[in-house]
Amino acid sequence: MRRVLLVLSAAMLFAGAAETPAVADAGRWQRAVDGIAAMGASGVQVHVHGPGGDWDGSAGVNEMSFLVPVLGGGRFRIGSITKTITATSLLQLVGDGRIGLDDGVAGWLPEFGIDPRITVRMILAQTSGLADYLNGGGGAPPLVGDTLGDIRRTWEPAEFVHWATDKPLQFTPGSGWAYSNTNYIVAGLLIEKASGLPYNANVYSRITMPLLMYGTSVPQTMEDILGPHAHAYYNYGGGPVDVTYQNPSYVWAAGGIVSSARDLDTFLGGLLGGRLLPPHLLAEMRAARPVNGSYGYGLGLYEYHLGNGCVGYGHEGYVNGYSSIAMRSADGSRGISMSVTGGGGHSAAVDRLVEDVMCG
């Protein structure tokens, strides 16, 4: 399984008590959550879905300055888990017949000079070859860095696409695989062009509202997080800096959504349970191209190979100060969604908890 990237060591810890669930493994899971916080995370929130019931756990502090314990159910920036929601939204329009998976993107977005060989399917599958504006490409540094200035200014999606199309393709479209945030900026623009509505209006009306995901929002430029939330911290070299307040326009349809662990599990349960897409498009989404021995990638959806034949479907997310993961089993009977704020050397502990929940 890909390791969740965590970037900060926090000094002060506080283990919070979780609600008492009707599941036999709750004590073991809470000890694992406490252990992740003890390794350096400032806060941890987890929601587990299992045969014995649902469970919420938490550990650490809500804000380092006040040492108030994290409570389960808080909201957080989900980073690239947004991509699964974006892919679902675009596939819904495919199901409506408004756009086709094998349509050329250049025909829909002619203003960017996108290579005419690139299709909608390649955008969602990360096989377009477009350079990644967040990680650089073609020998050029990224357009957006991790500085406070970059993550708090207002960006336009077109800036990212123009930057990418000025760079060489990473490979011939469709011939390789490379994770690029630019692909999902393009996907957001395709949603708007095909639907005639803003990106966030599509997500609200066809995903979050039907699934009653009341803790989920799709902010455009608002820096604040509405509702209860843990603060996030990033180490810029001189110690931890509170980076809770970010302008989500720098990741937009690739990573800008705010949600809760329970809502993310609700989303994956609804998606994989067939409530959001017709069967043939859900099958397309889950048809993963092998990337390495640990995971493959479908249309905005990872297929995780967790060992002993255990498989999970979902996505990971990271934006400054926030790491997250959401996963469900193929049959929907098991799932885990979690957020870790702050950092520390505990990615292996996160992996162990995920595998315990998904494969135990």
pLDDT digits (tens, 9 = 90+) for 290-338: 999 899 999 999 999 998 889 999 999 999 999 999 999 999 999 999 9
pLDDT in tens, 156-208: 999 999 999 999 999 999 999 999 999 999 999 999 999 999 999 999 999 99
**357 has a pLDDT exceeding 90:** yes
Residue range 39-58: mean pLDDT, rounded? 92
Q: Which amino acid belongs to residue 155?
A: W
The least confident of 45-49, 137-141, 166-170, 180-184 is 137-141
pLDDT at residue 8 in the model: 30
Q: Which carries the bigger pLDDT value, residue 345 or residue 357?
A: 357
DSSP 302-318: EEEEEETTEEEEEEEEE
The pLDDT value recorded for residue 23 is 65
Amino acid of residue 134: L
CA 335 – CA 57 distance, rounded (Å) = 14
Gap between the Cα atoms of 279 and 40, Å rounded:
42
Which tens digits make up the pLDDT trace of 241-279?
Answer: 999 999 999 999 999 999 999 999 999 999 999 999 999
Beta-carbon contacts of residue 118 (< 8 Å; ≥ 6 apart): 104, 105, 106, 128, 129, 130, 173
Three-state DSSP at 234 gives strand
Of the listed ranges 77-81, 148-152, 167-171, 293-297, the least confidently predicted one is: 148-152
Q: Where are the chain's structural domains?
A: 78-220+243-286
pTM score of the predicted model: 0.93
Q: Nearest 5°: phi and psi at 20? A: -80, 115
CB 324 within 8 A of CB 317: yes
Q: pLDDT value at position 140? A: 77
How far does the chain reach from its first CA to its final CA, in angstroms? 16
d(CA 272, CA 300): 13
Segment 30-46 mean pLDDT: 92
Give the integer Cα–Cα distance in Å for 189 and 157: 8
Alpha helices in the chain (DSSP H): 26-38, 82-95, 105-108, 120-125, 148-152, 157-165, 181-195, 199-203, 252-255, 261-272, 279-286, 347-359
Give pLDDT, residue 279: 98
Neighbours of 249 (CB within 10 A): 22
Other Cβ atoms less than 10 A from the Cβ of 116: the count is 12
Residue 60 β-bridge partners = 43
| Residue 154: C-alpha distances to residues 151, 253, 261, 274, 358 (Å) | 8, 14, 27, 36, 39
Tell whether the torsion through CA atoms of 46, 70, 226 and 21 is positive or negative.
positive
Lowest mean pLDDT among 46-50, 93-97, 261-265, 340-344: 340-344
The whole-number pLDDT of residue 21 equals 42
Can you name the CATH fold of 78-220+243-286? Beta-lactamase (3.40.710)
Q: Are 324 and 318 in contact (CB under 8 A)?
A: yes
85-135 pLDDT tens trace: 999 999 999 999 999 999 999 999 999 999 999 999 999 999 999 999 999
pLDDT of 3 above 60 = no
